[in-house]
Amino acid sequence: MIDIRFLRENPEAVKENIRKKFQDAKLPLVDEVVDLDAKRRAAIAEVESLKAARNKLSKANGPLYGQLKKCDDEAKKAELQAQIDRNNAAVKADDDRRAELDQSVSQMDARIREIMYVIPNIIDPSVPIGPDDSCNVEVERFGDPVVPTFEIPHHVDIMASFNGIDKESAGRVAGMGFYYLLGDIARLHEAVLAYARDFMIDEKGFTYVIPPFMMHGDVVKGVMSFPEMEAMMYKIEGEDLYLIGTSEHTMIGRFIDQVLPEAQLPLTLTSYSPCFRKEVGSHGLEERGVYRIHQFEKQEMIVVCKPEESMDWYNKLWKNSVELFRNLEIPV
């Protein structure tokens, strides 16, 4: 989520960023936030003014009550009581107005938060602009692909030749998008995960983490919109719990509402988790293979650092990925 102060001061830059992401339907949200933010700050200023006026009126009533208690002149007593009543009426009016403003501020806060979850983060200037991966720009190659003289078998056929996969039984047990891994293929799967884990721990000095595999709905609100969350994530019936679609969610969620001492940064973490995804609308894209599946496992790299160090860490992380693949003699 971007800082609302940045949006307040740079609304056109935020709009241009939305255009670069081809999400023009979100452009009116920027103006709505700017308007709500101005009204919210004006309401808060009025609340503070009303508090000061209320305190002044309440303080003024103290001496008046003292005079009223000592006064024997009925006319004067009536005048003092009238002034006290006027002050009390003004205090009540101020309190009623403050309650109205507080409710309005609360409603505006909720709407602003809802919109800010949807407005995309500012992309780095180095990012190529395009609506989909057809506009990706190849920057560098590491290693050359080896093209064999024979026809390359489908990856499922390779696994099947080792009696290493059973999608038919998985379909009966859980439906499309699942599979059993068997024998040496299952061992190879675990070996690659273990190699990636130990590479990050032993070679790169990252701390190994196994996070929760479920999370509350509010943990992921800052990561994706609610419609995206509903389309991707499996919800536990009757509970505020979702199966994670990636360990990034609970890894970053660990730091919600936390203030980290600068001396502790950067935190360099590598996490393992199974991942669960509905993959709504993706059926049929790769039904025979093991893509677009509902359950898989990942080894992640997570770094929590100061903002000014983020690009340096980004470059370190992709280089880690390249090194891992090249160690396995896979071109990148």
Per-residue pLDDT at 206: 98
Question: How many residues are recorded in the chain?
Answer: 332
Which parts of 233-328 are beta strand (E)?
Answer: 242-243, 267-276, 295-304
CA dist., res. 321 & res. 315, Å (int) = 10
CB 242 within 8 A of CB 229: yes
Q: pLDDT tens digits for 292-325?
A: 789 999 999 999 999 899 999 999 999 999 999 9
- DSSP state letter for 67: H
- Closest among 319, 40, 68, 50 to 203, alpha carbons compared: 319
Under-50 pLDDT residues of the chain: 284
Q: pLDDT tens digits for 90-137?
A: 777 778 888 888 999 999 999 999 899 889 999 988 889 998 888 999
CB 162 within 8 A of CB 176: no
| Whether the bond into 307 is cis, omega within 30 of 0 | no
Per-residue pLDDT at 69: 67
What phi and psi values does residue 123 have, to the nearest 5 degrees? -80, 155
